[in-house]
């Protein structure tokens, strides 16, 4: 069997352009794009998904892979994959931000560790919420739903030089407001309880100025914070499920149902 240069270029583009989108999504997505996942594992998973997805991709434009149009399509596929993974990562940012707010309020902000997802220093409470959120994400088959959204996106946003609409970019940016509001919703019970405790210590300081408020208030604030976290943990897990439904619905609205 003899292959012409045009047929070989068409075959390469039919496999490489889906590979670029899939690899970019896995790099930016939570769990798959974490620093503890080896690059070889991520690349192998991208190749396996490409072998499954490429035959299902709609017909692609007859554009040379090494031309200016081919380079534009490649950049568009990388951008779509990165946006898809980043839109889902926003859900995990809610848990990280909520843990930071609670930790700073109860005086536990100094206890931090490296986040395996991003490699940055985050408080211990953020790690706790991130682990719980990851377990909820896996229990809801979020990783399988992410792959399904990726496959369906090739029908909604086909491989073309036009790529993704500008409105999608603005909607992803505007989703940052949802991250802050959802994080405050998660952290509100603990923050409200600690606010009442701090107000009580403020009254005590005015009534007894000789009282060393720092020596007494810090351990009490820690104990109250841990107690409130323990009482609200079951409710927080239910909130995690609702947040995942909202976040995944947002990703589906952008890349499956269309903006």
* pLDDT tens per residue across span 115-140: 655 556 667 787 888 888 888 888 88
pLDDT of residue 87: 83
Whole-angstrom distance, CA of residue 144 vs CA of residue 242? 18
Helix (H, G, I), strand (E, B) or coil at 67: coil
Helix axis angle, 68-106 relative to 5-28, nearest 10°?
10
Closest CA to 255 of 166, 162, 157: 157
Give the residue with greater pLDDT, 215 vs 112: 215
pLDDT of residue 160: 75
pLDDT of residue 259: 47
b vs e for 124-143, b when ≥16 Cβ sit within 10 Å of the residue's Cβ? ebbbbbbebbbebbeeeebe
Q: Which residues constitute the domain of residue 79?
A: 5-255
Give the residue with greater pLDDT, 61 vs 91: 91
Whole-angstrom distance, CA of residue 47 vs CA of residue 96? 31
Question: Per the structure, how many domains does the chain have?
Answer: 1
Mean pLDDT calculated for residue range 91-100: 84
CA 180 to mean position of chain CA atoms: 14
Q: Helix H segments across 54-164?
A: 68-106, 124-139, 142-156
Token pair, residue 86, equals 């980043």
Q: Quick one: pLDDT band at residue 258, thresholds 50, 70, 90?
A: low
Q: Quick one: pLDDT band at residue 7, thresholds 50, 70, 90?
A: low
pLDDT of residue 70: 74
């Amino acid at each position: 069997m003899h292959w012409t240069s045009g047929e070989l270029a068409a075959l390469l583009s039919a496999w490489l352009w889906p590979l670029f989108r899939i690899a970019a999504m896995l790099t930016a997505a939570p769990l798959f794009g974490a620093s503890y996942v080896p690059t070889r594992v991520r690349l192998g998973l991208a190749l396996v998904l490409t072998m499954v997805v490429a035959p299902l991709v709609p017909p692609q434009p007859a554009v040379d892979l090494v031309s200016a149009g081919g380079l534009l399509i490649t950049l568009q596929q990388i951008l779509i994959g990165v946006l898809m993974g980043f839109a889902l990562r926003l859900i995990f940012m809610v848990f990280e931000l909520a843990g930071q707010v609670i930790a700073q309020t109860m005086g536990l902000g100094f206890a931090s560790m490296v986040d395996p997802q991003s490699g940055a220093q985050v408080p211990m409470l953020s790690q706790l919420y991130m682990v719980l959120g990851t377990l909820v994400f896996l229990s809801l088959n979020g990783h399988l739903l992410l792959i399904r959204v990726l496959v369906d996106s090739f029908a909604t946003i086909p491989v073309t030089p036009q790529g993704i609409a500008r409105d999608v970019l603005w909607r992803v940016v505007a989703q940052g407001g949802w991250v802050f509001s959802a994080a405050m919703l998660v952290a509100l019970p603990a923050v409200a309880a600690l606010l009442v405790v701090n107000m009580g210590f403020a009254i005590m300081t005015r009534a007894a100025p000789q009282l060393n408020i720092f020596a007494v208030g810090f351990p009490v604030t820690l104990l109250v914070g841990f107690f409130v976290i323990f009482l609200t943990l079951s409710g927080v897990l239910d909130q995690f499920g609702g947040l995942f439904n909202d976040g995944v619905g947002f990703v589906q609205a952008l890349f499956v149902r269309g903006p």
